[in-house]
């Protein structure tokens, strides 16, 4: 398999050959920042176009077709439009917190995105407590949402923020427990180690029934954390106009929009990393010929293929299921997913001991 680690190592060696270590490290930090920000923005545009096309398919429409071939440049045109939009000044808002909220939501999303292992050696950060870092940094987003709702001085934004806070804090528990189930199986919190352990069999196969239960639980809870249908109560247009970001305009609204789509990708990418082998190809024991063919597919394609398959599942659910009521949403977490996740951790412990 060809890994992009070869390219990153060559860049590191090239810079250290001609520059002092401090300057080489500084330039590497700058390059990593540019690459992460560029990938973040490009993926958001791709996901917006993909959702429009998937939505159109389920509704027997064509979706965007006019700007660029197959409407591929429609998202770019929308991005340019939102960058040129005026920032409307809202009366009687807490200006500092109002502006800070959009940045907090974006920073939480971007910080989580930087920890994803796209290939061997291709991740901005690789902590030995990577799973804990993902859970911690992604939780900052709820602070931005609550600040946005409170600082806007609008009853609809406040209701949307309260709904979102209750929803995110609730479903983070099931997400965390589902990931901890795989941490027990892997024996490590480091994402690169978890991926490399799946070279011969992905965790969803290695962990048996407990891993499958954890995978399904994570997908449901993760989808709820992205505030997307049928869990889109914080942004229920028919009730709350646009929810917690009703008063935002221009690039500030764009930050919320950007983070929402990338959070969908991040949830799918974490599922890929923890359950579906990350950038590892599909290997079947005893099928040596098949395994050799799978090794020819670049690891980056494996990662993005699995991730976009999970994204498609999320879009399928969004455009198929009706919106839940708030009591149904919380009952699903506290009466079904949470007890199931706790029992599943015990099942995984028994699986590890006896299988």
Question: What does the pLDDT look like over 99-144, one tens digit per residue?
Answer: 888 888 889 888 899 889 988 878 888 888 889 999 889 888 888 8
Q: What percent of the chain has pLDDT over 70?
A: 97
Measured CA to CA in angstroms, residue 46 lies from 60, 103, 165, 211 at distances of 21, 22, 28, 30
Confirm whether pTM is higher than 0.85: yes
Statement: residue 78 has pLDDT above 90: no
Residues counted in the chain? 355
Residue 310 has pLDDT above 90, yes or no: yes
Mean pLDDT value of segment 204-210: 91
HSE-up of 80 (CA within 13 Å, CB side)?
Answer: 5
**pLDDT surpasses 80 at 236:** no
Which residue has tokens 């809870």?
A: 221
Q: Kindly state the average pLDDT of the residues 56-66.
A: 88
DSSP state of 198: T
User: Which has the minimum average pLDDT: 127-131, 168-172, 210-214, 230-234?
Assistant: 230-234
Question: Over 80: is that where the pLDDT of 33 sits?
Answer: yes
**What pLDDT is recorded for position 1?**
64
Q: What is the pLDDT of residue 215?
A: 95
- Does residue 237 have a pLDDT over 70? no
Highest mean pLDDT pick, 259-263, 324-328, 340-344: 340-344
pLDDT confidence of residue 240: 63
Q: What confidence tens digit (pLDDT) does each residue in 245-254 have?
A: 788 888 888 8
**Residue 347 confidence (pLDDT):** 94
- For 291-308, the pLDDT digits (tens) are 888 888 888 999 999 999
Does pLDDT of 212 surpass 90? yes
Q: Looking at the predicted structure, is the pLDDT value of residue 234 above 70?
A: no
Give the pLDDT band of residue 238 (cuts 50, 70, 90).
low
Q: What residues form DSSP beta bridges with 122?
A: 119
Q: How does residue 218 score in pLDDT terms, banded at 50, 70 and 90? A: very high
State what percent of residues in the chain have pLDDT above 90: 27
- pLDDT tier, 66 (very low <50, low <70, confident <90, very high otherwise): confident
- Whether 56 and 63 have beta carbons less than 8 Å apart is answered as yes
Residues 6+ apart with CB under 8 A from 44: 258, 261, 262
271-191-105 Cα angle (round to 5): 65
Instruction: Determine whether 203 is exposed, middle or buried from the number of CB atoms within 10 Å of its CB (0-12, 13-18, 19+).
Output: buried
SS3 71: helix
- What is the chain's mean pLDDT, rounded? 87
Over residues 330-344, the mean pLDDT reads 92
Provide the pLDDT for residue 254: 86
pLDDT: is 313 or 244 the higher one? 313
């Amino acid at each position: 398999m060809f890994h992009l680690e070869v390219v990153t190592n060559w860049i590191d060696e090239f810079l250290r050959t001609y520059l002092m270590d401090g300057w080489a490290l500084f330039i590497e930090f700058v390059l990593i920042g540019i690459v992460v920000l560029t990938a973040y923005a490009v993926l958001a545009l791709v996901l917006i176009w993909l959702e429009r096309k998937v939505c159109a398919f389920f509704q027997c429409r064509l979706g965007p077709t006019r700007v660029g071939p197959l409407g591929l440049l429609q998202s770019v045109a929308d991005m340019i439009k939102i960058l040129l939009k005026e920032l409307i000044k809202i009366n009687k808002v807490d200006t500092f917190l109002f502006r800070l909220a959009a940045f907090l939501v974006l920073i939480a999303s971007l910080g989580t995105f930087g920890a994803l292992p796209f290939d061997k050696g291709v991740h901005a950060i690789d902590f030995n407590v990577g799973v804990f870092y993902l859970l911690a940094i992604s939780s900052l987003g709820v602070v931005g949402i609550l600040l946005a709702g409170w600082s806007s001085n609008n009853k609809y934004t406040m209701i949307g923020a309260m709904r979102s806070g209750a929803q995110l804090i609730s479903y983070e528990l099931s997400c965390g427990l589902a990931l901890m189930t795989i941490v027990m199986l892997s024996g490590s919190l480091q994402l690169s180690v978890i991926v490399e352990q799946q070279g011969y069999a992905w965790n969803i196969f290695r962990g048996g029934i407990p891993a499958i239960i954890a995978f399904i639980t994570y997908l449901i809870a993760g989808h709820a954390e992205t505030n997307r249908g049928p869990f889109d109560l914080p942004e229920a247009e028919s009730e709350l106009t646009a929810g917690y970001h009703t008063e935002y305009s221009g690039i500030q609204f764009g930050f919320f929009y950007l983070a929402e789509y990338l959070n969908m990708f991040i949830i799918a990418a974490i599922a890929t990393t923890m359950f579906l082998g990350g950038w590892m190809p599909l290997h079947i024991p005893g099928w040596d010929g098949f395994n050799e063919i799978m090794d020819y597919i670049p690891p980056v394609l494996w990662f993005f293929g699995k991730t976009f398959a999970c994204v498609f599942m999320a879009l399928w659910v969004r455009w198929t299921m009706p919106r839940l009521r708030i009591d149904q949403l919380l009952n699903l977490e506290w009466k079904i997913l949470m007890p199931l996740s706790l029992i599943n951790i015990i099942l995984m412990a028994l699986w590890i001991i006896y299988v």
